[in-house]
Amino acid sequence: MTLNRTVLLRLNGQGEPIVACSYGQGVLTLPSSPLPDGTPEGTPLFTVRLVITAGSPVARDGLIWTNCPPDAHTEFDRHKFYKKVIHTTFHKDDEIDLDVYKPGPHCFYFSFRNRDGNLETTRKFYFVVPPILRIDGKFVQLNSIALQTVVSKWMGKNWDAVFERIAAKKYNMIHFTPLQHRGESNSPYSIYDQLEFDPDYFKDAKQVEQMVQKLHKKYKALTLTDVVFNHTANNSQWLREHPDSGYNAITAPHLLAAIELDGALLGFSEKLQLLGYPTELKSLDDLNKIMTGISKHVLQEIKLWEFYTVNVRKTLDETRQQWSGDFTHQSLEPPTHLASAGVKEVAQYVRDHAIKEPFGILRGRFDNRVDVGKFVIVLQQLYGCEWSEDILNKAQQILNELNEPLYAEYDADINEAMNQLYNRVKYLRLDDWGPKQGPVTDKLPLTEPYFTRFTGKDGKQYALANNGWIWDGNPLIDFASDKSKAYLRREVIVWGDCVKLRYGAGPFDSPYLWKRMADYVEMNAKIFDGFRIDNCHSTPLHVGEYFLDLARRTNPNLYVVAELFSGSEQMDRLYVERLGLSSLIREAMQACSEGELSALVHKHGGRPIGSYRFVPMDNFAYKSDVKLDENYCSYDPGNMAMKCASEIMIPRILTAVPPHALLMDCTHDNETPNQKRTVEDTLPNAALVALCSSAIGSNFGYDEIFPHLLNLVTESRVYDVHNSPGIGEVKALLNDIRGEINKLSVDIEDSEAYIHHDGQYITFHRTDVRTGKGWYLIARTKFGDKGGQKLEPQVFSHIQAQLLFAYSLERNGDTPNDPHLLKGIPTKLVKLEGFHTHFDDSTKATTVTLPDYFPQGSIAVFNTQQLGVDKELDHFIRSGALKATTNLDFISLNSVLYHSDPEENDITEGRLGTYDIPNFGKLVYCGLQGWISVLRAIIFKNDLAHPLSENLRQGTWALDYLTDRLDYYSDQPGVPEVQQWLRSRFERIKELPFFLRPSYFALVVAIIYDCCRLRAMQLMPPNIGKSTLFVQSLALTSVQMVAEMKSTSIYPNTNAPSMAAGLPHFSTGWARCWGRDVFISLRGLLLTTGRFDVAENHILAFAKTLKHGLIPNLLDSGRNPRYNARDAAWFFIQAVQDYIDIVPNGESILQKKVSRRFPLDDTYVTPDDPLAFSYSNTIEEIIYEIFSRHAKGIKYREANAGPDLDRVMSDKGFNVEVYVDWSTGFIHGGSQFNCGTWMDKMGESKRAGSYGVPGTPRDGAAVEIIGLLKSSLRFIIELNRRGLFKEKSVTKSDGTQISFKDWNQLLQSHFEQKFYIPKDSSQDSRYEIDRKIVNRRGIYKDLYHTGKPYEDYELRPNFLIAMTVAPELFTPKLALDALIIADQVIRGPLGMKTLDPSDYNYRPYYINGEDSDDFATAKGRNYHQGPEWVWLYGFFLRAFSKFHWLVNPQAQNRNKTKPSSYLYQELFHRINRHAQWIAESPWAGITELTNKDGEFCNDSSPTQAWSTGCLLDMYYDMWRSFES
């Protein structure tokens, strides 16, 4: 299947389709688009490509089940599902193609194993493929349909004359009400014989088929007929032979009471005069007398309460008789407390345990029964085994109590029945808006009969339920079933000439009926082009599904419309999905005011003019090897292929759209304009409907101005086709316009409209997006005589307009009353003149002024053309971006896509910052991502009222901003080409009407953004470029974080790209580049993304600044580095190790030389001192120096110590000491006065007394430093083995030597002994444990020998770092147990809690700016005492997957070569929130931290380098180990 026949359906982790909401809630609907001529047989009509997110829950042992047949020759069976296996990994989405060969509804669902290990299935997800309609071989879009309804019995002898009239009005589809043999009422919808056509007109079905063929060829018209599934004529002969096809006392015993009530009401109606009641109701007093009579002579006599209740007397007799029986077979033991309980409680027990099922359902009289045997057991066990008067009384009380709610139910039902009867009789006999039936007779009884009564062929008497409808009924409940009491409660507005058909659950329930109706459906599907499902909302879904599937087997391209009045858009969607409905009928004549009509036209007129168009943005993965084609987005209206948004060949996206409408200006069920409004309103109502972006239709007689709604039962006259021209001439003109519109607009996005309502006037501008052509309608309605309103001159900015035609409709005669012909009210069409159209060349505006004479009932239609829009514009906008972005590199991508406000200010020296949108605020980035982050939601919702939309309409500032800012980056590769592409497109946009500017601006920005994003993927390696959207979004933060600044660099004298710790807080000057952050982030952000040169530069730059054997925490371009981080040196060596591990020939970095910022004796010198950079070392030597200095011990006072260096540090805090405890090999360091690990928050509140007191000093041996040390030793030993590192030992503080291998072994031997806290206290002797301060077991300590011993035992997430970099230190089973505890206790939704919530010091809310008396939290001292940090989550996931793989067999596939889908599911469950965060964040990154349980932290940096970098580490681990 080629891409232009493929649609992409993205699914979330639960398998739910991801769809835009710019159209509101809708149905997944494919385009109506035929295969090109010459397509090989067996080619799918479409391919729906499902994209299953990598590692998603539904992928675990996941299968997709679809009822799409596997090939063109396999018949569609909606109940037969075919299996497709999901092959998703954790790093790559799976794409599963569902080939669709024929129109109709299709569905799929997932089966998978959930997190509990149980098999689970999702709901079914439906998509609908519309039919492909053709007239005379030419394709007809659904929006091109113009339908005319005719009623066959009014067509007379010469049907051709009717067809000629319809053809002259340019209709292209004829809707026939049922052409079958009619029943005794003569209504077309009361069908006597479904398998016989009307013998008055047709000898057989062949003649009908010949008529349809003639309509196709001669009149170029498609045909549509009603199919009636729900009922048959009350006199249908076949029903006498098969009464089981209806609801009667045998097939539906729950209707017995209703049948008796209906019979009694009919009997009462016959006896009114005999009983002394009025037979002709003239007042409410008469009606009240009748209602009294019903109560007395009907309800009292038929005792309907007996259908509800238990027969107390009979039950008591049976109880007495069976009292001494043997009930040992009954296992019933009522609770003993019931003996002293009240009667109500005992009765409830009997109701629950001692009745005969079914109980509580209406059937026969006293069919609700107690199981007497069980009842006896209850009585005997509660009250004794001797029968007595007391027990009899108790039994009677219990039974009476059991009956009480049943009597209440009866009372409620009868009250409702009486209320319904009152209102129905009132409507039929008294109401002015009712039929006023007159005297009660046998033919017109008091109220319509609910049942048709006859003697069946078997000689038995039957009463079959008549069909009807219920106000506000639930369409999913069959109101004749035992789920409803509508017939008893008289809630059905019944059709006395129609018997409701009983289908049951399937053909096995009523075989004759199903077979008969199947023959009926097949016969009609063979002849007609479409079905109108009569009374669809009352058709059981399974019935509609069965017969429409059958019909489509006969005619695959059957056009199916439905009369669906469910009262709920949700219910409408359900029917459309399940039945594959092509269109839903909507009725303009239901509008009771100009405002309602305007709203209806607005709903169906098209998308608002200037709507945003869908373009893939940052919500799609851009595969680096995706196919590219500059012509892929070109548009050819003659080619029905589906084009995509840009040159990037991503298939078209399948999304949900509202159910397609067939908008009728008037149906054969509607009152006419003459009745509801005025004759004159016929014309404006028709014109407004005609311009809508939908199928349209009209009843024959509307155009001809028939005065009244015609009665389908009683009307016997025929159409007058030779007179009554009405508005036919204008209808032909309007249908011509529809044809022209729909030649241009082949896509839902092509058609736009603007509707405005002003009193009597409704103006409607319909436009084609791609060509700018339009049609403007001014309609002056006439809902009544409302006086002389004059419409102000209409002004069109950047639009030219020309009058096409203008008419008014005037009545010029009285309502006709011909006994033989159906005639229209005499009217004339008056051609209107005197319109003044003026185009002002200077303002590019057209003004249209109406003539003085433009009465109510007038229309004027204009041709319009939007200036600057032509058929070439769309392709020009969408093309050329790929070429423009070809030369971009990572740094120029950073300039084009990003730059926070401080960064842009830094680079432009204060001249430029982020764009400020009035009434919205500043964007977060100056580059394209800043705009995309806002446009994403705007486009998704088509938010034309957004402040950005308004800003774009008001001026071109945003356009100029985006191009002009690139002047500052014109020396960067590829930027001039991007700037020129933007400028050329924006210049074209400036020529367009202002109201189109937002849409085209968004299109331009999204397209160039797409190409930039793709360019980034092309520059990155396959583990990124071919990965998921989430991985690619993470990787783009590498581009986001690395930029060239003016105020800082990684080198003191050279401007080089530097990595920001986070944006915007850590973006410029000394605050940008942090040693610890850089090296924690380096593997993920720079190495896994292939940015080896930038990684190398950062390694070399920091190596230059090594001092005291430490890497600085703050680099400050190497000019004034600060050495207050004990861990940075070890993260540095880890980064070098990662570099050598990942980069081809990476070991060469070991011999790269760097000039040293400081002398070897650690003397502080300024950057310009001759001693600065006066000697060089290789990276190998730098690494050795780190080991050597630590082995000997480090002790110094920070240079320039004092408030200028750190305003809150106490004097003692500037003293730094680090040493190795050679009994364990552990590195110890720090003091209670400073904080040398990443948990480095210093107290700042004088008010709380925390000024200069570290929040988390973490002195002693920190667990992550020990892990990093072990990893570094392992690394050096391996380099020794390979001959890449010459030194093999270091000198200790006592002057003796120790080899790296011995040091490594020392750590291995002591780590778990010193750090592990066993689950079982009986094992404490194996470890160094102080039981008195153990808070939680089964974990690893955070510290060893800190200044506050209890802090050793705190559960913090730092051990995860050690687990990840040095897994060999950990016993796998113990490690997994500790990880499980961490998962349950300190894992938050997005980050890791920095302290165990059970800890006394746990304070999870970080508010840095808040000062208070709280020592723990004032000025944010609790930064690391509970708030949840995201970067550690990456280490958690890496350790989680590593040790699950090692320990848990469930985490491995059968071959033990790859992770199982179980492990992927568990990882996805833990990372889904991150994917959601980065997708929704305007910063397109992941925050530094959150507060408790993922709550937003306002003081967190919104996008942080290590937050995303460490997650990329985890993905790289998985890719490299199992997928590369």
Residues that are catalytic? 534, 537, 669
- What are the structure tokens assigned to 1287, written together? 């030194």
Q: CA separation (Å) from 158 to 164, 181, 203, 397, 540?
A: 10, 19, 16, 76, 38
Gyration radius (Cα) of the chain, Å = 41
Q: CB-based contacts of 750: which residues, under 8 Å, 6+ apart?
A: 744, 768, 769, 770
ω into 405 cis (within 30 of 0): no
Residue 1334: closest CA among 1352, 1348, 1346: 1352
Q: CA separation (Å) from 1011 to 242, 646, 885, 970?
A: 68, 9, 7, 19
Residue pair 610/617 in contact by the 8 Å Cβ criterion: no
Residue 126: closest CA among 576, 533, 566, 568: 576
Burial group, residue 140, by CB count within 10 angstroms (0-12, 13-18, 19+): buried
Residue pair 786/845 in contact by the 8 Å Cβ criterion: no
Residue 410: closest CA among 279, 310, 294: 310
Half-sphere exposure of 18 (CA within 13 A, CB side): 16
3-state secondary structure of 491: coil
Residue pair 250/244 in contact by the 8 Å Cβ criterion: yes
Burial group, residue 1380, by CB count within 10 angstroms (0-12, 13-18, 19+): middle
- Residues 1076, 1073: Cα–Cα separation, whole Å: 9
Half-sphere exposure of 1401 (CA within 13 A, CB side): 19
- Residues 1316, 1325: Cα–Cα separation, whole Å: 12
Residue 1374: closest CA among 1386, 1362, 1392: 1362
Fill in the amino acid letter for 83. K
In 635-772, which ranges are continuous DSSP H helix? Answer: 673-676, 682-690, 728-744
- Residues 1520, 89: Cα–Cα separation, whole Å: 13
- What are the structure tokens assigned to 575, written together? 């029917």
Q: What angle do CA 170, 176, 178 make, to 5 degrees?
A: 175
- Residues 1487, 1503: Cα–Cα separation, whole Å: 5
Tally Cβ neighbours within 10 Å of residue 1130.
29
Report the DSSP pairing between strands 63-66 and 82-85. Answer: antiparallel
- Residues 126, 260: Cα–Cα separation, whole Å: 44
Q: Which residue has 């940015």 as its token pair? A: 1091
- Residues 1412, 1409: Cα–Cα separation, whole Å: 10
Residue 1342: closest CA among 1239, 1243, 1213: 1239
Q: Which residue has 């200044």 as its token pair? A: 1347
- Residues 1073, 1088: Cα–Cα separation, whole Å: 20
- Residues 1251, 1419: Cα–Cα separation, whole Å: 9
- Residues 644, 879: Cα–Cα separation, whole Å: 11
